[in-house]
Amino acid sequence: MKGTIVLLLLLFNSIFSQEFEHNTAFLPQGLSLPLLNGYGNSAIHNDVSNISAINPAALGNFEKVEFGFSYQYESEIKEAWITEIGSKRINNMVPQSVGLVLPFNNLNFAISMNQRYNSTLFTNINVANPCEAYLNENRQFYDYVLETIIYNYAFSTSYQFENLLPNSEFSVGFRVGLNNLAEQLHIENISYNASIYENDFSFRMLYSTNLTNNRNLSLGLYYQSPLEISGSAKFEYKPLPYCGTDAYMLHDATAEEVNLVAKFPSSLRFDLYFSQIEQFQFLFSISNSDWSKLDLYIRDQVEFSSSVSYFINKSLSFSVGFAKSEKEYVTNFMDINRNLEVVYFTAGSVFTIDDLSVNFSYADSHLSAGDFRKQQLEK
């Protein structure tokens, strides 16, 4: 029982203290592959529906007004953390992302929305009822459910400089976003419902060059600022019954303020796009997230991905690739680092008729993942 409590504390960093402060627990499963699309997992060659996650300097790749949206479905993970804490996606009827691009010559604008984080944590907590334990040592199981979604609403713009170097283009872009933390906690006599907003920004650069006929190279770099969403919500609870020598039970309900804090680290990302001939495109991406600046017990997170696309014709293409991620703690308690490693194998297809494009992507990690990261994604 003591081990269970320690592991829960490591997950949540700070559970309810006397001041009722709670750091939102981000399982990596809820941050899964925001760039996933039919071409792969790139921030500079992507679909309009993922505008909220791509490098905004790449807005120049969209030559006309475009609008798109996506839905994402994920398999439930029955044990996503030690102590049998499960994880699943919620609100599947809400789009994962929506994007609109408005190009004006070399100046481009975009508005977008995406679910930056989406996960429900659930488990059963075994608690001894003080009164019943005093009388007959019975125990009770309480369902613990924590639903967390972070919606990101963003405005992006970019400007493209042509021919600064022969046969090349250079673009800069930035994005400002409004983030909404929507979180609900339910556990027997304890609950709260919070909705908190906070801003963030990012700055990106993109360099593209035409090496020779049918050989193109693009390099992208972008910085994402750290984000902290903080606020308060009404925390309602009813203490567990207390049994004294006279069997008197206390049931007084109480309402207090709970201070909520959700933090994301700054990150730096590099992307490469290369086409050897018209039919083949190669994508590569690597990023570093500075988690160690937010939590001394977590190491910085390095992620990378790669994919190859084959264009049968202008209307149909297929892609295959992989994406590797991890979450590493300074203290590898109970082999947690290995259980949080994951390699997704991805596949996708894009089918286009005139101005209509249908984009399908699939990712599966069952072949190469720790016990807590075996999952399927469809988008």
Q: Which pLDDT belongs to residue 19?
A: 44
Residues 6+ positions from 53 with CB-CB distance below 8 Å: 34, 35, 43, 46, 97, 114
pTM of the full structure: 0.84
Residue 102 has pLDDT above 50, yes or no: yes
Residue 245 has pLDDT above 50, yes or no: no
Please give the structure tokens belonging to residue 272.
């490469």
Separation CA 205–CA 50 (nearest Å): 18
Q: Which pLDDT belongs to residue 252?
A: 47
- The stretch 356-369 carries a mean pLDDT of 94
Strands 21-23, 254-264: pairing kind:
parallel
Q: In which band, very low, low, confident or very high, does the pLDDT at 197 lie, cut at 50, 70 and 90? A: confident
Q: What is the mean pLDDT of the chain?
A: 81
Please give the structure tokens belonging to residue 26.
């981000």
Most confident of 12-21, 103-112, 211-220, 233-242: 103-112
pLDDT digits (tens, 9 = 90+) for 253-274: 455 677 788 888 899 999 999 9
For 99, other C-beta atoms within 10 Å of its C-beta total 27
Q: Which pLDDT belongs to residue 239?
A: 59
Burial of 3 (0-12, 13-18, 19+ CB in 10 A): exposed
Task: Report the percentage of the chain scoring pLDDT > 90.
Answer: 36
Residue 120 has pLDDT above 90, yes or no: no
Domain extents in the chain:
2-275
Q: In which band, very low, low, confident or very high, does the pLDDT at 217 lie, cut at 50, 70 and 90? A: confident
Q: Which pLDDT belongs to residue 143?
A: 75
Q: Which pLDDT belongs to residue 146?
A: 84
Residue 308 has pLDDT above 90, yes or no: yes
Q: Output 132 or 80, whichever has higher pLDDT.
A: 80
Q: Output 183 or 360, whichever has higher pLDDT.
A: 360
Q: Which pLDDT belongs to residue 206?
A: 63
Residue 249 has pLDDT above 80, yes or no: no
Q: Which pLDDT belongs to residue 316?
A: 94
Residue 201 has pLDDT above 80, yes or no: no
Question: Could you give the C-alpha distances from 153 to 116, 143, 367, in angstroms and in order?
Answer: 10, 33, 35
pLDDT digits (tens, 9 = 90+) for 39-69: 989 998 899 999 999 888 888 889 899 999 9
User: Measuring CA to CA, which residue among 66, 83, 113, 69 is closest to residue 9?
Assistant: 83
- Please, what is the Cα angle at 121 between 10 and 339, to 5 degrees? 55
Q: Which pLDDT belongs to residue 126?
A: 59
Long-range contacts of 328-331 (CB under 8 A, 24+ apart): 328/298, 328/299, 328/301, 329/10, 329/297, 329/298, 329/299, 330/296, 330/297, 330/298, 330/299, 331/297
What phi-psi label fits residue 167: left (phi over 0), alpha (psi between -120 and 50 degrees) or beta? left
